[in-house]
Structure 1
Amino acid sequence: MEAVRGFGIDKVAHSADRITGRWPVLRLENLDTDLPLPPEAVPVTAAALTTPPANSWLPFTGDEDLRAAIADVLADRAGHRYDPGDEVVVTSGGTEAALDCLLATIDPGDEVVLTDPTYAGLVNRVRLVGGVPRFVPYLVVDGEWRLDRDALAAAVGPKTRALLLMSPSMPSGAVLDHDDWRAVCDLCRDRDLILIYDSAMESLLFDGRELIHPVREPGMAERTLVIGSLSKEFRMIGWRVGWVAGPRSLVEHVGWAHVYNTTTPVGIARAAATAVLRGDHKHIATSAAELQRRRDTILSGLSGLPLVRPGGGWSLLLDTVALGVDPADASRALLREGAVAATPMTGWGDAVAARHVRFVFSAEPVDRLATLPERLAAAGLAPRNG
């Protein structure tokens, strides 16, 4: 098995905790958020803490009410009604869900196609199950990320078992359009592949983009595992609630992988998770609008730098190699000279990721993000011709 690599986030965070100087540190290295929780999250959790279900092992794959709430959300988004009884499994967060999906579908030596860049946690989970990551690069077209569809087709070979994709993707904020999804789904149908779709950020879209769900494509409900989570769209990071939905022929195996991985979802989170999923979701659009405002503050303040405009999500990438600076060196200079904690993207894909550092804008308000131009200038990161 190829070595599982670290994120880099922990090292940057450890160093950032010790920085003192001209500015307070801008924490752009991790996916915490200062955006408000859904209104039901705290009061329902507190009220349910002393109830028997909050301190129970059972049911192993999640309360039926919670699974039904997940099925209702997916019926609206995906246009497909999943049976809560045997087509939905509740997990301890979306990352556990990803591992369960891979454990249920990938044998050692099987290849899994991911984008470059992508979330390092997905890459490493492919390696944990003995799978082999194969990367499809994102291209930069008109300042935004675009999937290289020719490279996607070329990446699928006789050992390919699954495609593991996000949209919006982390860390890039890349969003797949209708033509991208059609190319993905055509490959899955033609080559008899499984699609593992991490939908954790699918409603965090900018610039009026529409939510496009691959399960709406013909024949995809039978071959797609949909991963969801309360951690991004709903900002409930500490509740650790995720899920997998898909055809019972696959979800049955995902459920057993979950049971022998963590035994049961987090009990104290179950009541609030159900209430939030059944509640008013207008707060998601409010959060997406604030995230877009933060993105625009960064792009406006750092115009002239090789930043790629994200179409959604919580973060964006700076190509430091285009500035003649190695990303690890840039990360150190940003922290030392500019008090900016930003993670180099080594291990978050392949050659494309390795050119970049990531700026997460989910936990820093606009007024603090507006100090980035001065901070980057102090770190020596300016356009090469200016």
Structure 2
Amino acid sequence: MKRAARMQDVAGFGIDRVADAVVGADVLRLENLDTDLPLPPEAVEVTRAALEEPVSNSWLPFTGDLGLRAAISDHIAARHGRVYDPRSQIVVTCGGCEAVLDILLATIDPGDEVVLTDPIYAGLVNRVRLAGGVPVFAPLVVDGGEWRLDHDALRAAISPRTVALLMMSPSMPSGCVLDRSDWAEVARLCLEHDLFLLYDAAMEALVFDGRELCGPLEHEGMAERTVIAGSMSKAYRMIGWRVGWIAGPASVVSDAGWVHVYNTTGAVSVARRAAEAVLRGPQDHVAECVAELQRRRDTILDALPGWRIVKPAGGWSLLVETDMTPEAFLAAGVAATPMAGWGDSVAAKYTRFVFATEPPARLATLATRLS
């Protein structure tokens, strides 16, 4: 059977192969983004209560309930100071990654280049390819033991074929957090080269060490050039609910919304209702989640003082520079993901540890497991 040319460079994560090779219950599960952190209090309660209501078995509305879109608008306004019209500038999707693909399919022509950092989430790289685009990588640098955006490298990655920057902060899997000077440079390059920004905001609340929350919409001219892909899966830990969103200029959101409709029809009604309740409910559990994730990060750093680990400034994972294979890690009772395909030459040197599933007491056993 004919194989589409776009599939030539699309590769798997490596996560599935590592997970399939796990044998026994004592293996530290550091290979995927599942989490044992508690759900928001409203998530299960509202989902259970809505199951028997007729509206929960409806296709409609395809682009998401207006109440949820209004809650998303308020959520973004509180974080970024920008109000999006719930009717024309927000679409609800089946998770944040569907939002990314919808946006790319609505904006990218075959051969268009999209600039991402190296390392970056393989799911973003391959969605650029699925949309017919060409991913181009700007290497991150390690500065003071943390990942930083290299402004010169970002500038050098832009060519006459570039149409967009795809940025995430904190970034998966590195935990790189962009500060105000970084976002100012992103804004400058977008304006100078007439680019748009696809901002993956899935992890933006998960920043460590008291860092200030900031983003691209603070900079002049970026509201018209930014399309946001948001998600309930990270800060709200609602992975299985599969609720995300697109927010941005009405013309792009309309096009991306039709991509969403013709791809998935609509996000699950029960999940949408739970998402609205969580966004409207108390938010203190997000800070508690951040504090616990920071404790887990620090537990790994303390357990492996001699290892070449780049300290993440946020997110759910960290990167270890090592020659150890996934098989060698598994032999030590640790499931970890190799980074081939998660960017370019920088990513290939690292292995990813996710610290969202294992509690600190178990993470502390890394010292003996890997000794």
Q: TM-score range by the shorter chain?
A: over 0.9
Residue 119 of structure 2 corresponds to residue 117 of structure 1: yes
Residue 330 of structure 2 corresponds to residue 332 of structure 1: no
1:220 corresponds in structure 2 to: 222
C-alpha deviation, 1:210, in angstroms: 1.0
Residue 353 of structure 2 corresponds to residue 353 of structure 1: no
Residue 307 of structure 2 corresponds to residue 305 of structure 1: yes
2:335 corresponds in structure 1 to: 341
Cα pair 1:54 1:270 within 8 Å, conserved: no
- Paired AA for residue 17 in structure 2: K
> Given the two structures, how large is their TM-score scaled by the length of structure 2?
0.97
Q: Which of 232, 239, 259 is 1:257 aligned to?
A: 259
> Given the two structures, how large is their TM-score scaled by the length of structure 1?
0.93
Q: Secondary structure at the match of 1:29?
A: coil
1:287 corresponds in structure 2 to: 289
C-alpha deviation, 1:52, in angstroms: 2.1
Output the CA distance in 2 between the equivalents of 1:69 and 1:149.
35
1:372 corresponds in structure 2 to: 366
Per-residue CA deviation, residues 4-58 of structure 1 (Å, 9 max, x unaligned), is 0000000000001x247xxx10000000000000000001111011112211111
Residue correspondences, number: 365
Could you list the runs of 5+ residues in structure 2 that have no partner in the other structure?
1-5
Per-residue CA deviation, residues 94-134 of structure 1 (Å, 9 max, x unaligned), is 01001001001100000000000000000000000110000
Cα pair 1:71 1:83 within 8 Å, conserved: yes
Cα pair 2:31 2:354 within 8 Å, conserved: yes
* Greater shift in the superposed pair: 213-222 or 309-318: 213-222
1:381 corresponds in structure 2 to: none
Output the CA distance in 2 between the equivalents of 1:195 and 1:53.
36
1:382 corresponds in structure 2 to: none
Output the CA distance in 1 between the equivalents of 2:305 and 2:179.
25
Q: Secondary structure at the match of 2:111?
A: coil
- Paired AA for residue 233 in structure 1: A
- Paired AA for residue 360 in structure 1: V
Cα pair 2:111 2:132 within 8 Å, conserved: yes
Q: Secondary structure at the match of 2:125?
A: helix
1:35 corresponds in structure 2 to: 37
Q: Secondary structure at the match of 1:172?
A: coil
Residue 356 of structure 2 corresponds to residue 362 of structure 1: yes
Per-residue CA deviation, residues 221-277 of structure 1 (Å, 9 max, x unaligned), is 111001110000000001000001001021111101101110111112121110000
Structure 1 runs (4+) greater than 3 angstroms displaced: none
1:152 corresponds in structure 2 to: 154
Q: Secondary structure at the match of 1:225?
A: strand
C-alpha deviation, 1:330, in angstroms: 2.4
Any residues of structure 2 matched to 1:1-386 within 5 Å, and which? 1=6, 2-16=8-22, 18-19=23-24, 24-320=26-322, 325=323, 329-336=324-331, 338-377=332-371
Per-residue CA deviation, residues 147-166 of structure 1 (Å, 9 max, x unaligned), is 11101001111000111111
Output the CA distance in 1 between the equivalents of 2:196 and 2:369.
45
Q: Secondary structure at the match of 2:319?
A: strand
Cα pair 1:107 1:130 within 8 Å, conserved: yes
Per-residue CA deviation, residues 314-363 of structure 1 (Å, 9 max, x unaligned), is 0000001xxxx2xxx52210101x11000000000001100000000000
**Considering only aligned residues, what root-mean-square deviation do their CA atoms show, in Å?**
0.9
Output the CA distance in 2 between the equivalents of 1:190 and 1:341.
44
* Greater shift in the superposed pair: 82-91 or 268-277: 268-277
Output the CA distance in 1 between the equivalents of 2:315 and 2:55.
33
Q: Secondary structure at the match of 2:325?
A: helix
Cα pair 2:91 2:247 within 8 Å, conserved: yes
Output the CA distance in 2 between the equivalents of 1:52 and 1:93.
23
Q: Secondary structure at the match of 2:167?
A: strand
Output the CA distance in 2 between the equivalents of 1:278 and 1:217.
27
C-alpha deviation, 1:168, in angstroms: 0.2
Output the CA distance in 1 between the equivalents of 2:174 and 2:110.
29
Output the CA distance in 2 between the equivalents of 1:187 and 1:204.
26
Cα pair 1:167 1:201 within 8 Å, conserved: yes
Output the CA distance in 2 between the equivalents of 1:270 and 1:312.
27
Output the CA distance in 1 between the equivalents of 2:192 and 2:217.
16
Cα pair 1:93 1:240 within 8 Å, conserved: yes
Cα pair 2:180 2:215 within 8 Å, conserved: no
Output the CA distance in 1 between the equivalents of 2:326 and 2:114.
30
Cα pair 1:26 1:368 within 8 Å, conserved: yes
Output the CA distance in 2 between the equivalents of 1:144 and 1:316.
10
C-alpha deviation, 1:180, in angstroms: 0.8
- Paired AA for residue 144 in structure 1: E
Q: Secondary structure at the match of 1:235?
A: coil
